[in-house]
Amino acid sequence: MSMQELENSSDAELFSLLKNEDETAKKAFTILYSRYASRVYAYCRRFLGNKEEAQDVFQETFIRFYQSAKQDREMTNLPAFLLTISRNLCVNAKRKEKSMVDFESVIFPDNNETTNLNDKKELLELIKRALELLPDEYKEMFILREYDGLSYQEIADVTGNSIATVKIRIFRAKQKIREILAPYLSDLSKY
C-alpha cells in the first residue's frame, strides 16, 4: 500500500494494520502519530504543567498505544482511546508527584506573585496558575472541554464518568477559576 493510500485511510483501518510487523504497520503508525501527536502532547502539557514530565508521559502514551494495537481489539474512537491512555498516565504521574515533597520548595517558597496585569501574557500566566490550583478531576475535565474541544459525551467516554458528572465538574472548574482570578481582575478594573 502506498503512503498516499494509507493517508486516506480511516483511523480504524490504520489501527488494524498495526498488528503486523511490516513496513505498512510502520507507515500506519507514522500517520496516526502525525494525526494525534500534537493533541496528545498539548493535553499532557496542560494537565501536568511540566514540560519534561509531559514529554515523558506523551512518549509513554504512544508506546502503550502501539503495544495495545498488538492485542485483538476493535477501534471505534481512536482520539478518545489515546486521550484515555494519556489521562491515566497523567493521573499516575500526578499521584507520584504529590507523594514526593520538594525540599527546596518548602524552605524557599516562590513568592513571585504577579500583581501588574498590563499585558495579556501576565493574564494568561494567571489563568495557567489558576488551572494548576484546581483539583485534578476538575482540571482534567476543563482541559478536555476548553483546550481539546471535546463534547461532554466524549469527555464522559474518556474519563469513564457520567455526562452529568462531567458537566458539574466543568462548571465547578470555571467557578473556581473565577474565584481564584477575582482579586486580580478587581485590581485590574481599578486602573
List the CATH number of the domain containing 10.
1.10.1740.10
Question: Does the structure show a pLDDT above 50 at 109?
Answer: no
83 plus 44 within the same structural domain: yes
User: What does residue 50 show for φ and ψ, rounded to 5 degrees?
Assistant: -125, 120
Three-class SS string for 107-170? HCCCCCCCCCCCCHHHHHHHHHHHHHHCCHHHHHHHHHHHHCCCCHHHHHHHHCCCHHHHHHHH
Across 39-52, average pLDDT:
89
Question: Which pLDDT value is given to residue 123?
Answer: 67
pLDDT digits (tens, 9 = 90+) for 125-156: 777 788 888 888 888 888 888 888 888 888 89
Grade residue 110 by pLDDT with cuts at 50, 70 and 90.
very low
37 plus 90 within the same structural domain: yes
Looking at every residue in the chain, the average pLDDT score rounds to 80
Grade residue 185 by pLDDT with cuts at 50, 70 and 90.
low
Residue 22: inside a domain, yes or no? yes
93 plus 140 within the same structural domain: no
Question: Which pLDDT value is given to residue 189?
Answer: 56
Please give the helix or strand (H or E) that residue 61 lies within, else none: helix 51-69
- Host domain of residue 67: 1-100
